[in-house]
Structure formats: C-alpha cells, structure tokens
C-alpha cells in the first residue's frame, strides 16, 4: 500500500485529495480477493470524482486489525479502516461519527440492529459493513436414516442426538467450544435459553440464572450423555466442526452461510432451521458484523463521507454481499436480496437478521471478555464441571474489564 503521510494528503491542486482505506480480505484465494472488489469500486468512484484518489490496502483477517493499530500508534492513521472492531478507537476520540460523515438517507438505511451495535453511548461510530447470522444445519441423509425431523425445541434436539448416536453418527451434535470461536457458540446457546452476555441496557449478565441453566442442560443432556462426539467441546474448534460436517460425520451444528458452499462441494445434503429454544424457536440468534470506521487525523471529513455514501449504495452493497455470501447491512439491499431468486440460499439467514443480537462490540471490555470465554467456557460442560463457577468467573472478568474501561 502506498503510504500518504502527514495528514494533508494533497496530491496536486488544492482541491485534490488522496484517501487511504485499509480493508480486510474476504476471499479465500487470489481469484476472489477483496482487492478485486475494491479496485472495481474505486475505479467507478474516481471516474465520477476526478479530484479524489482512493488508495486501498487489503490485508488478511489475521493481520488487518494489527496493521491498523500499528498505523494509528505510529501517528499514520488511515482515513478509513474496514476491520473487526471500533470501540477502542472511539473511546480514544479518534473517530468521526456516522453523523459527521454520511448523508441522512444512507445513515437511516442501515439495519437497525446493526446500526445500534455500532453505537457507544447512543452515538454511532461503527458503520456496519458485512453481516451474517447463524442457523442450525442438519444432515438430511443422517436424519432420514434415523427417521427424524428437524428439531424445534431443546428436548427434540437432545432426542434427535440420541437417535443419531444410536445410528453410529460420530458427532450427533457438534458443540465447538474450543478457542477458535467459542464466543459465538456460547452466545447462540445463551440466547436460545433466554439469556445472553448482557441485559437490555448493556450490563453484563453472564452468570444469570438463565445462563447457568443453559450450560447445566448442555453438560447434563448433551455432553454428559456422549452426544457431542469424540472430541471434548472445549477442544473442538469451529473450523474442525465444519470440516466434519462436510465429511458427513455431524448430525447437527450451528453454522453461518459459508458452510453451505463447503457442504455442497462435498455433496452433503443439508437442511437449515432456526436454532431451537427451550420451548420452541429461539427468540434471538447470533448476529456478527464487521465494521467501517473513519479516523479524524487527516481531516478529510467531506471526502470520506462522500466516498462512504458511494460505498453504501444499494448496488455496491449487493455486489459485495453476493460475492462473499454475506448479508447486506442496508435495508434496501436486504429487500432486493430477499426477493431475488439468485439469493434464495441466503434468504433464511436474512430472515434471521431482524432477530439477531450482536456481541457487545460497543464495549471496550468485550475483547477481554471474549478472550476469557474462549479460554474457560469448555470446562463448564465437562463431566463434573460447574457452569455456575465458570460463568461467575467470566462475570468477574467482565465487571473488572468494564471498570477499567470506565476508569
């Protein structure tokens, strides 16, 4: 990426400006790298705005957050960053607000759940860029062999897992609580049990009675009855669970849209249903979003705002979402996708977006809490494990991290 240093960013006449954007790569090969998406978009934008150049640096998800942090720490903040989190930069007063940048129609056009997740104290700093939700995937062939229908309650899920085990299925229900992405599986189960990481006003409630009951049920009714497969949940990562599903070894697991193509490539016929709850469909599902943020350092507010209005046009949002099997973050693009025959595979996930709850990403404490969940939560469902003790430890981490952030 060509560095534009200083903070003026002037590249010619007094009206010429170069904007720098650092973005994450959603592709899994050079052929579908996000570099191609951004190159096409920037070419179209620059053709209409001869006084503005946009330089885009694309990095893998393993590197992009660190790259941005190093740039900011070195006093070379990019104008924009499309990354996984925004709260720390907002807390340090480094970011423009969405109000500062976007036209009213664009800002009002975000999905309300996603826009709210981008707020700190009621002010939006994080602009949602990509989203996904989770559904319960099940192997149709294994279910038919066991004479099963898709479960709608926890009791039905456990009974299905028993029947799958009797048929010799390796992972009747795959429960990935390993360190890769335990925070997602955990949140999905907490929500399906009527709880969650936080309450309606954003206070951590990790050790609530509902959450303890949920993990006690998992320990006793799934893990304790050997219905979660040969690998202990605390050692099973999401990627390995997905790979096992694609090999036909998993009866059920929570998955996001990328699992569809993986399963299809391996010839696995699957169904997808909303996550079961205690007495019926869960009232909420996990939503995950990635974020666009804009740094104040270089002072290009007007140009950044104009460029982001272009980025969030219906056409560009749809192009990106379709390219990477992700959900649109704007209402207009969601309506188009919901009605288009080419997008029917994604429609079940899109329908869940209205019910989605996101991680408490507006809290600077969330990174510490998420890391502790990944470290500890698997032991809560081990035989003899104590959900109340583990969830209390996590609550303590959350309370301490929240206090430190406030201080």
* pLDDT 10s digits, 321-350: 999 999 999 999 999 999 999 999 999 999
* pLDDT 10s digits, 102-137: 999 999 999 988 999 999 989 999 999 999 999 999
At 29 the pLDDT is 80
- Please tell me the distance from the alpha carbon of residue 246 to that of residue 223, in angstroms, as a whole number: 22
Looking at per-residue pLDDT, the higher value among 225 and 2 belongs to 225
Residue 4 has pLDDT above 50, yes or no: no
Give the model's confidence band at 1: pLDDT under 50 very low, under 70 low, under 90 confident, else very high.
very low
Residue 3 has pLDDT above 80, yes or no: no
What are the tokens at 369?
């809490």
Spell out the SS3 assignment of the chain.
Answer: CCCCCCCCCECCCCCCEEEEEEEECCCCCHHHCHHHHHHHHHHHHHHHCCCEEEEEEEECCCCHHHHHHHHHHCCCCCCEEEECCCHHHHHCCCECCHHHHCCHHHHHCECHHHHHHCEECCEECCEEEEEEECEEEEEHHHHHHCCCCCCCEHHHHHHHHHHHHHCCCCEEECCCCCCCCHHHHHHHHHHHCCCCCECCCCCECCCCHHHHHHHHHHHHHHHCCCCCCCCCHHHCCHHHHHHHHHCCCEEEEEECCHHHHHHHHCCCCEEEECCEECCCECCCEEEEEEEEEEECCCCCHHHHHHHHHHHCCHHHHHHHHHHHCCECCEHHHHHHHHHCHHHCCCHHHHHHHCCEEECCCCCCCHHHHHHHHHHHHHHHHCCCCCHHHHHHHHHHHHHHHHHHHHC
Rounded average pLDDT over 355-374: 92
* pLDDT 10s digits, 171-200: 999 999 999 889 999 999 999 999 999 998
Query: How confident is the prediction for the chain on average, in pLDDT?
Result: 93
Give the model's confidence band at 45: pLDDT under 50 very low, under 70 low, under 90 confident, else very high.
very high
At 62 the pLDDT is 84
Rounded average pLDDT over 93-108: 96
Which domains, ranges and CATH numbers included, belong to the chain? 17-130+290-353 (3.40.190.10), 135-274+363-406 (3.40.190.10)
Residue 7 has pLDDT above 60, yes or no: no
At 343 the pLDDT is 93
Give the model's confidence band at 301: pLDDT under 50 very low, under 70 low, under 90 confident, else very high.
very high
At 15 the pLDDT is 62
- Please tell me the distance from the alpha carbon of residue 316 to that of residue 286, in angstroms, as a whole number: 25
Q: Which has the closest alpha carbon to 195: 277, 317, 128, 292?
A: 277
* pLDDT 10s digits, 251-299: 999 999 989 989 999 999 999 999 999 999 888 899 999 999 999 999 9
- Please tell me the distance from the alpha carbon of residue 377 to that of residue 383, in angstroms, as a whole number: 13
């Amino acid at each position: 990426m060509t560095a534009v240093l200083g903070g003026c960013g002037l590249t010619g006449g007094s009206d010429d400006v170069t904007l720098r954007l650092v973005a994450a790569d959603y592709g899994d090969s050079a052929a579908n790298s996000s570099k191609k998406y951004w190159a096409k978009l920037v070419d179209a934008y620059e053709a209409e705005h001869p006084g503005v150049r946009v330089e885009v640096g694309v990095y893998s998800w393993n590197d992009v957050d660190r790259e941005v942090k190093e740039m900011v720490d070195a006093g070379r903040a990019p104008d924009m960053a499309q990354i996984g989190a925004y709260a720390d930069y907002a807390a340090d007063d480094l970011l423009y607000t969405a109000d500062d940048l976007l036209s009213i129609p664009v800002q009002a056009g975000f999905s309300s759940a996603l826009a709210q997740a981008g707020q700190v104290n009621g002010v939006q700093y994080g602009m949602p860029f990509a989203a996904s939700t989770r559904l319960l995937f099940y192997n149709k062939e294994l279910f038919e062999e066991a004479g099963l229908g898709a479960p709608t309650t926890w009791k039905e899920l456990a009974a299905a897992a028993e029947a799958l085990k009797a048929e010799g299925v390796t992972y009747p229900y795959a429960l990935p609580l390993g360190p890769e992405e335990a925070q997602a599986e955990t949140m999905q189960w907490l929500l399906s049990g009527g709880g969650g990481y936080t309450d309606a006003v954003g206070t951590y409630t990790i050790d609530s009675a509902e959450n303890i009951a949920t993990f006690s049920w998992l320990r006793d009714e799934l893990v304790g009855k050997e219905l979660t497969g040969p690998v202990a949940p605390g050692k099973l990562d999401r990627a390995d669970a997905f790979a096992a599903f694609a090999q036909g070894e998993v009866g059920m697991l929570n998955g996001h849209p990328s699992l569809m193509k993986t399963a299809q490539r391996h010839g696995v016929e699957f169904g997808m249903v909303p996550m079961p709850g205690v007495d019926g469909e869960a009232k909420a599902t996990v939503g995950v979003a990635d974020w666009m943020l804009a740094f104040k350092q270089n002072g290009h507010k007007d140009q950044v705002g104009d460029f982001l209005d272009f980025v969030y046009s219906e056409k560009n949002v749809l192009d990106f979402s379709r390219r990477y099997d992700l959900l649109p973050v704007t209402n207009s693009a969601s309506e188009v996708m919901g009605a288009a025959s080419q997008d029917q595979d994604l429609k079940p996930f899109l329908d869940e977006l209205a019910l989605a709850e996101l991680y408490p990403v507006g809290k600077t404490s969330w990174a510490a809490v998420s890391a502790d969940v990944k470290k500890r939560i698997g032991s809560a469902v081990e035989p003899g494990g104590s959900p109340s003790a583990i969830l209390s430890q996590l609550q303590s981490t959350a309370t301490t991290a929240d206090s430190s952030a406030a201080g």
